[in-house]
Structure 1
Amino acid sequence: MPKHRRTIARPAFRRHTWSTVRTVFASIVAGLVVMATLGFSTPTQSDIVAAYVDQNAQALVAVPAPEAAPVIDRGEFGATPGYETLIQSGTNYDWAKLVLLMGEFPITDSNVTVVTRWMRQENFVDTWWNRNNPLNNGWGSGGGGGTGRYVDLVDAAANAAEALTTLGRYSEIVETLRASAPTEQVERAIWFSGWATGMYNQGKHWAYNPVPVVTAPPSAWGR
């Protein structure tokens, strides 16, 4: 079978552009030839090019520089964990943060450290969710001496935050937590607040070693 040569169509504007240039160029040459016939000197190639450039000179238009984009001040922002995020994670540290969140206290390292230490003083750390009452809080638990039980750990956190912010004898604890004061200041406020009748032996029975992270079973969270 015969081979067909593939024809590539070129854009029409290319043919039109080159045709226009040839026409202009031919006009210039014709004009220069006439000039030579009338007695002018024979044009050189440089003369032809110079004449073409002169007839097709382009003007440069000054474009104003674009205005600088305004600087937008976005400010600083932070993220506060939501209830469900803490519940899903489910550790003793999450419960401490939940108490702080419900009490509208800053969730800072120092505040979380104090609350987790406090929880350890009230319950054995491996079963910190005992009776769903990590701080042995009597407020709303049905046990005035801190032996009551809550429905779940979420309810316990809400009652702990409410007890702190409602009863006047805990005002110094509230003040130091709101200020995210050094841990020793918050802890001293806890010892002498009357939360524990023995005042943790005025702090002598308070432990300072790191509290391990322990996850409570979902049932303790009401899940």
Structure 2
Amino acid sequence: MPSRRVRIRFPKPAKRVLMPLHHRFGVTLTVIGLVFAFSIVPTDAALASTLLVAPSTALADGGPAAPQQQLLVDATIAAPVVDRESIGATDGIDTLAHIGTNESWAKLVLMFGGWPQTDANVTLMLRWMRQENGPPDWWNRNNPLNNGYGSGGGAGLGSYPDLVTAAQYCAKNLQRGYPGIVAGLQAGTSADTTAAAIWASPWASSHYGNGTHWSTRPVEIVRAPASAWGF
């Protein structure tokens, strides 16, 4: 008996439906967003560290306590740091003028020049003023350093209407033509170094004997008459 072939037909697999590309991107981004959101949720311990609870208080009539009030504070907020060492004060023009001493005038020159009012700079200015006019009459002609710029006297024998004006012109003259002196005042660390720059400059034709006519003993602090300050 001849054999019969039996053909078995298997069902065709269903076609896989593919989601459009832009939809797949959207789903992926949504999943990533959910994972990221759960990862940054603060823990109970973190919330507890930033939770301020106001103590409950009972009512005056013995009634139930008022509900607790809660204030959530971001744990990343830090209190500002105040650098108290950087806080300082410098006497102003009017204050220095009313003090009225040779030390005040020295500080005025430094102020107008934008140079630090260090002990070295103030000492240097006082010594310089002493070599020009001397402490007993340091305000002579309202021109403590015998400055020729703006005073009407090219040889330093001119005068100014008041000592504040004299300080302004002194600072301007130094800035316009005495870089060595300005460098020393800007550093403000050594009265002797700046003095050497003064001797080497053309400020005085004698050059102060290259230092032999320059005293380093303490300078007497003397107050000028109010009229010299324009009062």
- TM-score normalised over the length of structure 2: 0.66
Q: Deviations 1:131-152 (Å, cap 9, x if unpaired)?
A: 0000000111111111111111
Q: Which residue of 2 aligns with 1:90?
A: 100
Correspondent of 1:121 among 120, 131, 135? 131
CA offsets per residue over residues 48-78 of structure 1, 9 Å max, x none? xxxxxxxxxxxxx9x9998888332122222
* Residues 109 and 168 in structure 2, CA contact (< 8 A), matched pair in contact too: yes
The match for 1:185 among 174, 188, 193 is 193
Structure 2 unaligned residues grouped into runs of 5+: 1-59
Structure 1 segment 68-79 matched on structure 2, within 5 A: 70-75=78-83, 76-79=86-89
Letter of the 1:191 counterpart: W
Task: State the one-letter code of the partner of 2:203.
Answer: W
Structure with the higher helix share, 1 or 2: 1
The alignment status of 1:13 with 2:21, answered yes or no, reads no
Structure 1's consecutive aligned runs of 4 or more residues displaced over 4 angstroms after TM superposition are 63-69
Name the TM-score, length of structure 1 as normaliser. Answer: 0.69
Residue 180 (structure 2) pairs with residue 172 (structure 1): yes
Mapping of residues 188-203 of structure 1, within 5 Å: 188-203=196-211
> 1:163 aligns to what SS in structure 2?
helix
Aligned length, in residue pairs: 167
Native 8 Å contact 2:118 2:189 kept in 1: no
Residue number in structure 2 paired with 1:216: 224
SS at match of 1:119: helix
One-letter code aligned to 1:13:
D
Local SS of the residue matching 1:190: helix
Q: Which amino acid aligns with 1:189?
A: A
What fraction of aligned residue pairs are identical, expressed as a percent? 49
CA distance in 1, matches of 2:144, 2:136: 11
Structure 1 residue runs of 5 or longer lacking an equivalent are 1-11, 18-60
Q: State the SS of the aligned residue for 1:13.
A: coil
Q: State which of 142, 153, 156 in structure 1 corresponds to 2:163.
A: 153
Cα-to-partner distance string for 1:149-180 (whole Å, 9 max, x where unaligned) = 1111011000100000012xx10000111011
Quick one: distance in 1 between partners of 2:176 and 2:180? 12
Q: CA RMSD for the aligned pairs? A: 2.5
Distance 1:106 1:211 in 2: 20
